[in-house]
Amino acid sequence: MIYAVVNTKGGVGKTTTAVHLATMLARQGKTLMIDGDPQASAASWAAWRRESPQFTPSPTTTCLTGKAILVEGKQLAEGFEYVVVDAGGRDSIALRSALLLAKKAIIPIDASHLDAAAMTDLMTVVELARDYNPDLEVRVLLTRVDSRTKDAAEMLEFLNEQKLTVLPTKVCERVAFRRAIGEGAIVQELGKDQAAINEIEAFFKEIQA
């Protein structure tokens, strides 16, 4: 199974989602994570993880750019049970290649008006990808949610109006996620925030359904 974690907007928890997904998949089978983002945040996380051998298992991680995500990614994927592509931050050849390679696209989205505007543009790109990859499944994940506000409810209403499939789980803005990423870990491995653990594990179950 090949997953692409994408968004044309940065700061939505894309890499956090990708590395957690890839690590949880690595617990089930041989997993490849492709960092297709110019910022290479997922690759940095993987490097930090290699310095902490207590965190295991780890997804095999490589960096690819542009069309190589599709061409080389397709070849590399043959040696793995699961592949997770972290691509985006803007509309790019890398993001479009990821959508052509994937079977499931996961779109992390923050609950803001800027994210809603970016989502409209992203769905145009997704529909173009579906012309060549008609079996592509798209799931939206609400991330960095502030439970003290009504922003998430308003965003959910907007997404439903767009007839998008939204995962039931909402991943809240939590310090535990930032700390885990900075240590090359996932929140389960640090074990300090049960709410964060519950959210990311619920997301994992839903995306595999």
Sequence-ordered alpha helix ranges (H) in 162-193: 175-182, 187-190
3-class DSSP assignment, residue 209 = coil
Per-residue pLDDT of the chain (209 residues; tens, 9 = 90+): 999 999 988 888 999 999 999 999 999 999 999 999 988 999 999 999 999 989 999 999 999 999 999 999 999 999 999 999 999 778 899 999 999 999 999 999 887 777 777 788 888 999 999 999 999 999 999 988 877 777 778 888 888 888 888 999 999 999 999 999 999 999 999 998 999 999 999 999 999 98
Contact (CB, 8 A) for 136 and 130 = yes
What pLDDT is stored for residue 101 in this prediction?
98
Compute the distance between CA of residue 192 and CA of residue 89 in angstroms, rounded to an integer.
29
Structure-token pair, residue 204? 């994992």
3-class DSSP assignment, residue 48 = helix
What pLDDT is stored for residue 146 in this prediction?
79
What pLDDT is stored for residue 171 in this prediction?
94
* Burial of 29 from C-beta contacts in 10 A (0-12 / 13-18 / 19+): exposed
Structure-token pair, residue 182? 């900075």
* Class of CATH domain 2-208: alpha beta
Contact (CB, 8 A) for 138 and 177 = no
CA distances for 28 relative to 78, 83, 130, 208, angstroms = 17, 12, 29, 12
What pLDDT is stored for residue 120 in this prediction?
82
What pLDDT is stored for residue 21 in this prediction?
98
Compute the distance between CA of residue 12 and CA of residue 161 in angstroms, rounded to an integer.
21
Structure-token pair, residue 104? 């499931």
Structure-token match 């890499």, residue found = 15
pTM strictly above 0.85: yes
- For the chain, the structural domain boundaries read 2-208
Compute the distance between CA of residue 142 and CA of residue 155 in angstroms, rounded to an integer.
9
Omega before residue 57 within 30° of 0, cis? yes
